[in-house]
């Protein structure tokens, strides 16, 4: 039984595309190149990565986005708020730093390594009612948002703080390099001649509540989950799992697929992921194609943070009535798809955001204007 709706009332983001919400959306709309070339992470290789432009420590940036939420919300503190973390690396960066410095694992604090290390750190500064952490690779914070929607709607919590975050780590960058999916230049999702993906870092915090707080509140209308379990690292080529997740999200939102104005695609820039997603979108929306773009062409792939970061982008797209563009697509692989290469001003009511991960774990979210 649905007791209440779930509304995103405030959000705060930091990424390579900007240290604020407005800077992030402006970078996307202006198609600014925020990806840098790096030779430090992979030996004898140049890889393009998305690094946050700040001298502040990553942990302190996490505190900063939480402080921003408190300052702009109707909360005095987080004592009656559930903390939901979505991350694929957790405290791995801290572990790497200690190991590279000491050449041993002996000085590593075991509480600062796992996925819930983020929650552990936050609880040193803030008081939360409870916390839970999700680690499902690139769908981590999308799953966290879906969970927030469910517990809000069931009346279990009134306030949920969802934080999606991942910092750049050698383990992650070198891991993707081993899979031969990294690009040596800014990624170009859905471009026929794309080279690969850009690993990036980001933090995105969203306050989800059972009542809307302003005219800019955005409702989490629907969530769809699927698992195609086709391959450990590659999606089902025809996009069957992605199609299922999108269909379920639209059904859960109690709308029609024709109501979707814009799809924020997973769009990583790798051949396997893009090919699968393009097939899924073209088959599901063959008779009512909405505009599609991948904002990862500006932000890079922020891994566990992607679902939350792109949820914030979707919120701004709805509030500004702007469809954000993709960047540098000259030869679209699938001509059925309606790619937005430039900023498009449009009446937007509902948007769909896709997050797909290793193991065929798929999450789609529908966002809409708060009623």
Look up 138 and say whether it is catalytic.
Answer: yes
Look up 230 and say whether it is catalytic.
Answer: no
Helix 306-320, helix 21-29: angle, nearest 10:
80
d(CA 322, CA 326) in angstroms, rounded, equals 13
Q: Which of 16, 301, 314, 315 is catalytic?
A: 301
Q: Which of 16, 29, 66, 138 is catalytic?
A: 138
Look up 301 and say whether it is catalytic.
Answer: yes
Structure tokens, 172: 């992650």
d(CA 302, CA 164) in angstroms, rounded, equals 9
**Residues contacting residue 109 through CB under 8 Å, at least 6 positions apart:** 94
What is the chain's alpha carbon radius of gyration, rounded to the nearest angstrom? 19
Structure tokens, 8: 């995103």
CA nearest to 243, candidates 298, 186, 286:
286
Q: Which of 29, 66, 113, 266 is catalytic?
A: 266
**Residues contacting residue 57 through CB under 8 Å, at least 6 positions apart:** none
**Active site positions, annotated:** 138, 266, 301
């Amino acid at each position: 039984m649905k007791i209440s709706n779930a509304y995103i009332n405030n959000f705060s983001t930091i990424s390579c595309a900007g240290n604020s919400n407005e800077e992030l959306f402006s970078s996307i709309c202006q198609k600014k190149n925020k990806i840098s070339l790096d030779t430090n992470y992979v030996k004898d290789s140049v890889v393009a990565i998305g690094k946050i432009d700040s001298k502040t420590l990553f942990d302190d940036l996490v505190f900063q986005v939480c402080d921003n939420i408190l300052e702009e919300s109707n909360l005095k503190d987080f004592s009656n708020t559930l903390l939901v973390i979505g991350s694929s690396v957790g405290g791995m960066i801290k572990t790497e730093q200690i190991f590279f410095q000491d050449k041993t694992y002996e000085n590593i604090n075991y509480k600062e390594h796992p996925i819930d290390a983020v929650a552990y750190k936050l609880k040193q500064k803030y008081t939360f009612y409870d916390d839970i952490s999700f680690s499902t690779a690139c769908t981590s914070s999308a799953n966290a948002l879906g969970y927030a929607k469910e517990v809000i709607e069931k009346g279990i919590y009134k306030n949920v703080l969802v934080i999606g975050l991942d910092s750049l780590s050698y383990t992650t960058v070198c891991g993707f390099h081993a899979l031969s999916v990294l690009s040596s230049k800014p990624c170009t999702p859905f471009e026929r001649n794309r080279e690969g993906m850009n690993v990036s870092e980001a933090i995105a915090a969203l306050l989800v509540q059972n009542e809307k707080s302003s005219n800019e509140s955005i409702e989490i209308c629907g969530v769809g989950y699927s698992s195609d379990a086709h391959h450990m690292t590659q999606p089902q080529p025809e996009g069957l799992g992605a199609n299922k997740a999108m269909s379920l999200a639209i059904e859960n939102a109690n709308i029609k697929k024709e109501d979707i104005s814009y799809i924020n695609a997973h769009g990583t820039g790798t051949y396997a992921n893009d090919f699968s997603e393009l097939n899924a979108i073209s088959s599901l929306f063959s008779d009512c194609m909405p505009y599609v773009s991948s904002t990862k062409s500006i932000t890079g792939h922020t891994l566990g943070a992607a679902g939350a970061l792109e949820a914030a982008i979707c919120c701004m797209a709805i509030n500004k009535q702007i469809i954000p563009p993709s960047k540098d697509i000259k030869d679209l692989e699938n001509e059925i798809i309606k790619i937005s290469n430039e900023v498009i001003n449009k009446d937007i009511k509902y948007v769909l955001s896709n997050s797909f991960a290793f193991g065929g774990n798929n999450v789609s979210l529908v966002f809409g204007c708060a009623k």
